[in-house]
Amino acid sequence: MIILPAIDLQGGQCVRLRQGVASDATIYNADPVAQALDWKNQGAKQLHLVDLDGAFQGKPVHTKAFADIIAATGLPVEVGGGLRTDADVEALLRLGVERAILGTRALAEPAALERLVKQYGSRIAVGIDARDGFVQVKGWLETSSTRAPELAKTVARLGNVTLIYTDTATDGMLSGPNLRALDELCAAAPDCPVIASGGISAPAHVRALRALGRKNLFGAIVGKALYDGKTTLAELHAALQTEI
């Protein structure tokens, strides 16, 4: 497993939302590049970047900031938020983004997802954001009737696509991940790498993820806990090495 620090951009600044509510944002850094370099200096090997304005507006807003982060850090990054067209995806991948994350479109346009996976392979990831087991879309503003494991199974048929699972009820709450839901999702798509997100805020949470024993559990995204000083990257990396 790897730990991916999160950089969520709203209005050009690094923020964290509480349960995805746009109006409930805490600003942590006005300089996204400086924040990315800080994570790198603390030992980050990859970064998780989110265009919050893009997610709410349905089109990329912070592409330049992401390009600047890639140029400054040289780290592999995955980017999501507002990627509703093929051109949006292509533009990000041309910047050198490791994985472009489709969320709303992955559910709404399965044919488009299949086409993009055929074209770009593992550089396409699918973000599965769920509340009470049901997939949420459009910046978590709408909840669909599709269960998260069902979407995971559909995506898995396309090939080796990374799944980024966020439990929206725990996101930003520092209360720990939804282990049962995550375990169910990993089981639904055993051949897809899965990255966990939502509530991960302590070394014990990382050890609990490892204890699930899911070989396809590839990584964990951590945001608010790092920004608030609840834990450090060094502590989380140490939890990846300890006995479970």
Active-site residues: which are they?
8, 129
CA distance 12 to 220: 24
- Asked if residues 69 and 32 have their Cβ atoms less than 8 Å apart, the reply is yes
**Helix H or strand E encompassing 77:** strand 77-80
Amino acid residing at 146: T
**Helix H or strand E encompassing 26:** strand 21-29
CA distance 195 to 222: 11
| Residue 73 CB neighbours (<10 A) | 18
Q: Is 30 helix (H, G, I), strand (E, B) or coil?
A: coil
What residues are paired with 47 via a beta bridge? 77
